[in-house]
Protein backbone atom coordinates (compact mmCIF):
# COMPACT_ATOMS: atom_id res chain seq x y z
CA UNK A 1 0.00 0.00 0.00
CA UNK A 2 2.83 2.38 0.98
CA UNK A 3 4.70 1.64 -2.21
CA UNK A 4 1.55 2.35 -4.22
CA UNK A 5 1.11 5.66 -2.44
CA UNK A 6 4.64 6.90 -2.99
CA UNK A 7 4.70 5.84 -6.63
CA UNK A 8 1.51 7.83 -7.23
CA UNK A 9 2.76 11.19 -6.01
CA UNK A 10 4.80 12.38 -8.98
CA UNK A 11 2.28 11.34 -11.63
CA UNK A 12 -0.59 12.80 -9.59
CA UNK A 13 0.91 16.26 -9.19
CA UNK A 14 2.58 16.52 -12.59
CA UNK A 15 -0.51 15.27 -14.41
CA UNK A 16 -2.62 17.81 -12.50
CA UNK A 17 -0.45 20.64 -13.79
CA UNK A 18 -0.26 19.29 -17.33
CA UNK A 19 -4.00 18.77 -17.59
CA UNK A 20 -4.62 22.16 -15.99
CA UNK A 21 -2.58 23.76 -18.77
CA UNK A 22 -4.32 21.75 -21.49
CA UNK A 23 -7.93 21.75 -20.28
CA UNK A 24 -8.02 24.83 -18.08
CA UNK A 25 -6.05 27.22 -20.28
CA UNK A 26 -5.38 25.97 -23.81
CA UNK A 27 -8.85 24.51 -24.42
CA UNK A 28 -10.96 27.51 -23.35
CA UNK A 29 -8.57 30.02 -24.92
CA UNK A 30 -8.45 28.15 -28.22
CA UNK A 31 -12.23 28.07 -28.30
CA UNK A 32 -12.37 31.75 -27.44
CA UNK A 33 -10.15 32.41 -30.44
CA UNK A 34 -12.23 30.20 -32.74
CA UNK A 35 -15.48 31.67 -31.45
CA UNK A 36 -14.36 35.27 -31.78
CA UNK A 37 -13.06 34.64 -35.30
CA UNK A 38 -15.96 32.62 -36.71
CA UNK A 39 -19.00 33.84 -34.76
CA UNK A 40 -18.13 37.23 -33.24
CA UNK A 41 -21.76 38.27 -32.69
CA UNK A 42 -22.82 35.12 -30.89
CA UNK A 43 -19.56 34.72 -28.96
CA UNK A 44 -20.08 38.15 -27.40
CA UNK A 45 -23.68 37.66 -26.33
CA UNK A 46 -25.74 38.42 -29.47
CA UNK A 47 -25.85 42.10 -28.55
CA UNK A 48 -27.80 44.78 -30.39
CA UNK A 49 -26.33 48.29 -30.59
CA UNK A 50 -28.14 51.48 -31.43
CA UNK A 51 -26.30 54.79 -31.75
CA UNK A 52 -23.29 53.35 -29.97
CA UNK A 53 -25.16 51.99 -26.97
CA UNK A 54 -25.96 48.36 -26.27
CA UNK A 55 -29.74 48.15 -26.06
CA UNK A 56 -30.11 44.44 -25.43
CA UNK A 57 -29.33 40.89 -26.41
CA UNK A 58 -31.56 39.05 -28.86
CA UNK A 59 -31.41 35.89 -26.75
CA UNK A 60 -31.62 37.19 -23.16
CA UNK A 61 -34.80 38.75 -21.82
CA UNK A 62 -35.04 42.27 -20.42
CA UNK A 63 -37.78 43.76 -18.28
CA UNK A 64 -40.79 45.21 -20.10
CA UNK A 65 -43.31 46.49 -17.59
CA UNK A 66 -44.73 49.62 -19.22
CA UNK A 67 -48.17 49.51 -20.83
CA UNK A 68 -46.66 50.79 -24.09
CA UNK A 69 -44.76 47.57 -24.61
CA UNK A 70 -45.54 43.90 -24.77
CA UNK A 71 -44.62 42.80 -21.27
CA UNK A 72 -42.24 39.99 -20.39
CA UNK A 73 -43.00 37.31 -17.81
CA UNK A 74 -42.60 37.95 -14.08
CA UNK A 75 -38.98 37.39 -13.05
CA UNK A 76 -37.32 36.17 -9.86
CA UNK A 77 -33.84 37.30 -10.95
CA UNK A 78 -32.91 40.01 -8.47
CA UNK A 79 -35.41 42.86 -8.76
CA UNK A 80 -36.41 41.39 -12.11
CA UNK A 81 -34.30 40.46 -15.17
CA UNK A 82 -31.06 41.02 -13.27
CA UNK A 83 -28.34 39.74 -15.60
CA UNK A 84 -25.97 39.17 -12.69
CA UNK A 85 -28.38 37.17 -10.54
CA UNK A 86 -30.28 34.63 -12.65
CA UNK A 87 -32.84 32.75 -10.56
CA UNK A 88 -36.23 31.08 -10.49
CA UNK A 89 -38.73 31.61 -7.68
CA UNK A 90 -38.22 28.04 -6.40
CA UNK A 91 -41.69 28.12 -4.89
CA UNK A 92 -43.28 24.70 -4.54
CA UNK A 93 -46.66 23.69 -5.98
CA UNK A 94 -48.56 24.15 -2.69
CA UNK A 95 -46.82 27.38 -1.72
CA UNK A 96 -49.01 30.16 -0.32
CA UNK A 97 -46.53 32.78 -1.57
CA UNK A 98 -46.91 31.38 -5.09
CA UNK A 99 -50.71 31.30 -4.91
CA UNK A 100 -50.87 34.88 -3.59
CA UNK A 101 -48.55 36.18 -6.29
CA UNK A 102 -50.43 34.43 -9.09
CA UNK A 103 -53.78 35.61 -7.71
CA UNK A 104 -52.63 39.25 -7.70
CA UNK A 105 -51.16 39.00 -11.20
CA UNK A 106 -54.30 37.37 -12.59
CA UNK A 107 -56.43 40.14 -11.07
CA UNK A 108 -54.18 42.88 -12.49
CA UNK A 109 -54.01 41.37 -15.98
CA UNK A 110 -57.75 40.68 -16.10
CA UNK A 111 -58.21 44.39 -15.43
CA UNK A 112 -56.12 45.42 -18.45
CA UNK A 113 -57.66 42.89 -20.84
CA UNK A 114 -61.13 42.09 -19.51
CA UNK A 115 -62.97 38.99 -20.64
CA UNK A 116 -59.91 37.05 -21.86
CA UNK A 117 -58.45 34.00 -20.09
CA UNK A 118 -55.00 34.82 -18.65
CA UNK A 119 -52.19 32.77 -20.28
CA UNK A 120 -50.25 30.74 -17.71
CA UNK A 121 -46.81 31.96 -18.75
CA UNK A 122 -47.74 35.60 -18.01
CA UNK A 123 -48.34 34.85 -14.32
CA UNK A 124 -45.52 32.36 -13.71
CA UNK A 125 -41.84 33.18 -13.26
CA UNK A 126 -39.42 31.50 -15.63
CA UNK A 127 -36.56 29.23 -14.60
CA UNK A 128 -33.84 31.76 -15.35
CA UNK A 129 -35.64 35.00 -14.58
CA UNK A 130 -34.26 36.07 -17.98
CA UNK A 131 -36.75 34.39 -20.30
CA UNK A 132 -36.64 36.27 -23.61
CA UNK A 133 -39.93 34.76 -24.82
CA UNK A 134 -43.63 34.70 -24.14
CA UNK A 135 -46.16 32.34 -25.68
CA UNK A 136 -48.13 33.55 -28.74
CA UNK A 137 -51.25 33.49 -26.53
CA UNK A 138 -49.55 35.83 -24.07
CA UNK A 139 -48.63 38.20 -26.90
CA UNK A 140 -52.11 38.21 -28.44
CA UNK A 141 -53.54 38.75 -24.95
CA UNK A 142 -51.70 42.09 -24.79
CA UNK A 143 -52.56 43.34 -28.29
CA UNK A 144 -55.62 45.40 -27.37
CA UNK A 145 -53.86 47.13 -24.49
CA UNK A 146 -50.75 48.00 -26.49
CA UNK A 147 -52.84 49.25 -29.43
CA UNK A 148 -54.99 51.38 -27.13
CA UNK A 149 -52.05 52.99 -25.32
CA UNK A 150 -50.19 53.67 -28.56
CA UNK A 151 -53.25 54.73 -30.51
CA UNK A 152 -52.70 52.05 -33.14
CA UNK A 153 -55.12 49.86 -35.05
CA UNK A 154 -55.48 46.59 -33.04
CA UNK A 155 -55.71 44.54 -36.23
CA UNK A 156 -52.38 45.92 -37.42
CA UNK A 157 -50.73 45.16 -34.08
CA UNK A 158 -52.20 41.67 -34.19
CA UNK A 159 -50.66 41.16 -37.64
CA UNK A 160 -47.33 42.37 -36.28
CA UNK A 161 -47.47 39.79 -33.50
CA UNK A 162 -48.48 37.12 -35.96
CA UNK A 163 -45.40 37.83 -38.09
CA UNK A 164 -43.20 37.52 -34.99
CA UNK A 165 -44.38 34.09 -33.86
CA UNK A 166 -41.48 31.63 -34.08
CA UNK A 167 -42.45 28.02 -34.82
CA UNK A 168 -40.95 24.80 -33.44
CA UNK A 169 -38.08 23.33 -35.43
CA UNK A 170 -39.30 20.46 -37.64
CA UNK A 171 -42.71 20.84 -36.05
CA UNK A 172 -41.86 19.28 -32.68
CA UNK A 173 -38.59 20.67 -31.38
CA UNK A 174 -39.33 23.60 -29.10
CA UNK A 175 -42.51 25.59 -28.58
CA UNK A 176 -44.29 28.33 -30.52
CA UNK A 177 -43.01 31.56 -29.00
CA UNK A 178 -42.55 35.30 -29.42
CA UNK A 179 -39.26 37.06 -28.67
CA UNK A 180 -40.41 40.11 -26.69
CA UNK A 181 -37.34 42.27 -27.35
CA UNK A 182 -37.53 41.75 -31.11
CA UNK A 183 -41.30 42.30 -31.11
CA UNK A 184 -41.05 45.53 -29.14
CA UNK A 185 -38.30 46.91 -31.37
CA UNK A 186 -40.51 46.30 -34.39
CA UNK A 187 -43.39 47.83 -32.49
CA UNK A 188 -41.34 51.01 -31.90
CA UNK A 189 -40.37 51.16 -35.56
CA UNK A 190 -43.96 50.50 -36.55
CA UNK A 191 -45.35 53.12 -34.19
CA UNK A 192 -42.92 55.73 -35.52
CA UNK A 193 -44.67 55.56 -38.87
CA UNK A 194 -48.11 57.14 -39.18
CA UNK A 195 -50.72 54.61 -38.13
CA UNK A 196 -52.11 52.91 -41.21
Partner 1 sequence: MTFQGWLLIAAFAGILLLLCKPMGQWLFALYEGRRTPLHRLLGPVETGFYRLSGIDPNEEQGWRRYAVHMLIFNAALALFTYAILRLQGVLPLNPLGYDGTSADLAFNTTISFTANTNWQSYGGESTMSNLSQMLGLTIHNFLSAATGIALAFALFRGFARRELKTIGNFWADMTRVTLYLLLPLCIAIAIFYIASGVPQTLAASVDVTTLEGAKQTLALGPVASQEAIKLLGTNGGGFFNVNSAHPFENPTALTNLVQMLSIFAIGVGLTWTFGKAVGNTRQGWAILAAMMTLFLAGAAITYWQEAAGNPVLHDLGAMGGNMEGKEVRFGIAQSALFAVVTTAASCGAVNAMHDSFTAIGGLIPLFNMQLGEVVIGGVGAGIYGFLLFAILAIFVAGLMVGRTPEYVGKKIEAREVKLAVLAIAVLPLVILGFTAIASVTGAGLAGPLNKGPHGFSEILYAFTSAVANNGSAFAGLSANTPFYNGMLGAAMWVGRFFIIVPMLAIAGGLAAKKYTPATAGSFPTTGLLWTGLLIGIVLIVGGLTFLPSLALGPIADHLAMINGQLF
Sign of CA dihedral 139, 70, 159, 48: negative
Q: Least CB distance from residue 161 to partner 1, whole Å?
A: 15
Q: Which residues, 146 to 165, sit near partner 1 by CB under 8 A?
A: none
Nearer to partner 1, 104 or 155 (CB): 104
Give min distance, CB of 149 to partner 1, in A: 14
CB closer to partner 1 out of 14 and 195:
14
List 169's β-bridge partners, or say none.
Answer: 173
Nearest-approach distance from CB 11 to partner 1, in angstroms? 4
The most distant pair of C-alpha atoms in the chain lies apart, rounded to whole Å, by 86
Query: Applying CB under 8 A, does 144 fall inside the site for partner 1?
Result: no
Q: Which residues, numbered 117-136, are part of the site for partner 1 (CB under 8 A)?
A: 117-121, 123-135
- Which residues, 166 to 195, sit near partner 1 by CB under 8 A? 168-169, 171-175, 177, 181, 184-185, 188
Does residue 7 belong to the site contacting partner 1 (CB under 8 A)?
yes
Q: Report the residue count for the chain.
A: 196
- Count of C-beta atoms within a 10 Å radius of residue 166: 14
When asked if residue 24 is in the footprint of partner 1 (CB under 8 A), the reply is yes
The strand ranges marked E within the chain are 47-50, 53-57, 133-134, 165-166, 177-179
What letters, b where the CB count within 10 A reaches 16 and e where it falls short, cover 47-67? eeeeeeeeebbeebbbbbeee
Site for partner 1 in 41-70 (CB under 8 A): 42-47, 53-57, 59-66, 69
For partner 1, the closer of residues 24 and 155 by Cβ is 24
- Contact indicator for 175, 135 with CB cutoff of 8 Å: yes
Amino acid sequence: MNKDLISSLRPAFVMTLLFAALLGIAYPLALTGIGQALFPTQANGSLVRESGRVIGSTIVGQAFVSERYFNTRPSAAGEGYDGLASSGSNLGPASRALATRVKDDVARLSGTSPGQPVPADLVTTSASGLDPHISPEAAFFQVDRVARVRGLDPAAVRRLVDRNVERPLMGFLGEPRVNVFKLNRRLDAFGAKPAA
